[in-house]
Chains A and B, each alone.
Chain A
Amino acid sequence: MISYAECSARERLALLLDPGSFHEWLPPSERVMSPHLAQLGVPSAFDDGVAVGRAMLDGRSVFVAAQEGAFMGGGVGEVHGAKLVGLLQRALRDRPAAVLLLAESGGVRLHEANAGLIAVSEVMRSLLDVRAAGIPVLVLIGGANGCFGGMGIVARCADYIVMSDVGRLAMSGPEVIEASHGVDEFDSRDRALVWRTTGGKHRWLTGDCDALVEDDVAAFRAAAIAAIDVSKPLTLEALEQEHALLTKRLHALDTIDTTDRDEAALLWSALGIADARQVPELSVEAVRALRTA
């Protein structure tokens, strides 16, 4: 078993895809780098923190992008974002079987904040173009930096999300919320609370991810292969269903006194999960069996 979380982006590509099949576009040797980091005197990367290209997965042609969490937390800058947009536009043109996004990102890279924000929205629009064309977009989340900010929204625009239990998917990081509203609102050092709020098991039980796997590259590969043909068209009916689900969830805790109680466990109970308080202690396999819908 090889930990997905501990792999670099390129190690993930090497282990997850068919051996030797990854062909990179704009590889590090071409040195397509951020002009803004250099201006700030901050070290740059020859790939701006993301590798994009084509590959084979179980003998099928796929396009793939992998964000490198060790470089600026996987933050999206102008070049990084443009590589993702280019990949998605190319998918729209060349129609691979699927697009895989190995997401690991804190969201917008603050060092180039304005350009990063626009870039993330361009990624979102081009991803939705690919999805609307019936080409499945799969997002894999299991890196140590999680998938946050604008990339947390991008992930939820995709057809299918695979997460490990150590993976995290959310919008604002706990540190940001704590800095804004205090430690009583969100204690970012309470790791158990952070995972109950943003982690893979929680996202599985709420249906925010579509597959929950162990922190194992082979498990991610198997889940991606299983989902390669899962296309979920965003029709008006599908969006009405999504709206109903989110509205029900918004009100799930309305009538419950949550003072000094574990809100995550209360939410899981409200969603029909038995023995919700035990969830953090359970194995991935046991949690997988708990989901009711």
Chain B
Amino acid sequence: MQWNSLVTQLFGPYHGMREDGDFLQGEVIFDGEPIAVIGTTNHAPIGVRLALAQARVVLDTVAQHPGRPTLLLIDTQGQQLRRRDELLGINRAMAHLGASIDLARRRGHRVIGLVYDQALSGGFITSGLIADACYALPDAEIRVMRIPAMARVTKLPEEKLTALSQSNPVFAPGVQNYVAMGGVRALWRGDLQACLREALAHTPTDDRRARDGAERGGRRLAAAVVQRVLDAA
């Protein structure tokens, strides 16, 4: 879905969101209360610059608007694959973005991620995946790598991976698989305003993803292994 169409559905035609290159930002009013919205578009690669731009808004929100809920709108092709970004410490910039969102959460800001188009590994891990919880639209796509590329890297036959992806959510792209594994809390269908309202009211602030993955059958071991380490003699 186009970001403009999404925020129009969520916040009406006078939402006030701004687009600056691949970066989205705005203060919207929802149910009479202000929400900070931060996002990317055009399947943006997340490099140092875009990671810092997002962190800036998060830190400003924490400093100037204590407690204001924050919505992260996610559309990314993953981290920027450039030598200059590695030289400049892209991993440190990503960690800074993640730590900023984490600080907001600890200070009582409700932070909600929404994958509205595409989410990939490095661009996703310090945004939606470090929010209180992440949601997705049904036609969004989430993955680490496409199956042909995965076949090359792992040296496993593409047919085998494709076949396994039918039965095991671990291998295949797709928001439904991320829901089954607990990585995405729920899909937003139909009335998006109602979905946001529900998320703002009921998103947990603790990390429930491993338990959700076990209950939903998509990630059967993680929660049990965590518990075994906690209980080990």
Chain A positions within 8 Å of B, measured between CB atoms, are 25-26, 32, 35-36, 39-40, 42, 52, 78-79, 81-83, 85-87, 89-90, 93, 108, 110-122, 124-126, 128, 132, 149-150, 152-157, 169-172, 174, 176-177, 180-181, 185-186, 197-198, 202-203, 206, 208, 234-236, 239-240, 242-243, 246-247, 249-250, 253, 263-264, 267
Contact = CB atoms under 8 A, between A and B. Distances in A.
A81 B83 contact: no
A100 B221 CA distance: 24
Given A117-B124, A156-B92, A249-B89, A176 B230 contact: no
B202 interface: no
Contact of B150 (A110, A197, A249, A263): A110
A174 B85 CA distance: 12
B91 A155 contact: yes
B181 interface: yes
Contact of B144 (A42, A110, A152, A155): A110
Interface in B148-200: 150, 153-154, 156, 160, 164, 168-173, 177-178, 181-183
Contacts of A112: 170-171
Interface stretch (B10-18, B26-34, B35-43, B206-214): B206-214
Contacts of B201: none
Contacts of A250: 48-49, 52, 88, 93
Contact of A114 (B63, B130, B178): B178
B89 A206 contact: yes
B94 to A, nearest CB: 5
Contacts, number: 238
Contacts of A126: 207
Given A86-B230, A111-B154, A157-B99, A197 B144 contact: no
B226 A86 contact: yes
Interface stretch (B1-9, B68-76, B100-108): B100-108
A115 B84 CA distance: 30
A36 B160 CA distance: 13
B229 A52 contact: yes
Nearest to A249: B88
A79, A169, A170: residue with the most chain B Cβ atoms closer than 10 Å: A170
Contacts of B177: 114
B137 interface: no
A249 B88 CA distance: 7
B56 A125 contact: no
A103 to B, nearest CB: 12
Nearest to B233: A25
B225 A156 contact: no
Given A114-B183, A126-B207, A208-B92, A83 B229 contact: yes
Given A86-B226, A125-B102, A171-B86, 19 more contacts: A40-B156, A78-B170, A81-B222, A82-B226, A86-B229, A89-B230, A108-B121, A108-B144, A113-B150, A114-B173, A118-B129, A118-B181, A122-B209, A149-B121, A150-B122, A155-B95, A156-B92, A236-B62, A243-B96
A26 B225 contact: yes
Interface of B: 48-49, 52, 55-56, 59, 62-63, 79, 81-96, 98-100, 102-103, 106, 121-122, 124-126, 129-130, 142-145, 150, 153-154, 156, 160, 164, 168-173, 177-178, 181-183, 207, 209-210, 213, 219-230, 232
A116 B144 contact: yes
A171 B226 CA distance: 26
A281 B164 CA distance: 50
A128 B102 contact: yes
Given A25-B232, A177-B82, A197-B86, A243 B144 contact: no
Contacts of B95: 153-157
A263 to B, nearest CB: 6
A145 to B, nearest CB: 15
Contacts of B84: 253, 263
Contacts of B228: 25-26, 32, 86
A170 B86 contact: yes
The 7 A-B residue pairs whose C-beta atoms are closest, nearest first, are: A86-B229, A156-B95, A82-B225, A121-B129, A113-B144, A25-B232, A152-B91
A153 B102 contact: no
Q: Which among A79, A90, A93, A114 has the greatest number of chain B C-beta atoms within 10 A?
A: A114
B145 A150 contact: no
9 contacts: A89-B226, A118-B219, A128-B99, A153-B94, A156-B92, A171-B122, A243-B96, A249-B89, A264-B87
A185 B154 contact: no
Contacts of A108: 121, 144
Contacts of B82: 177, 181, 185-186
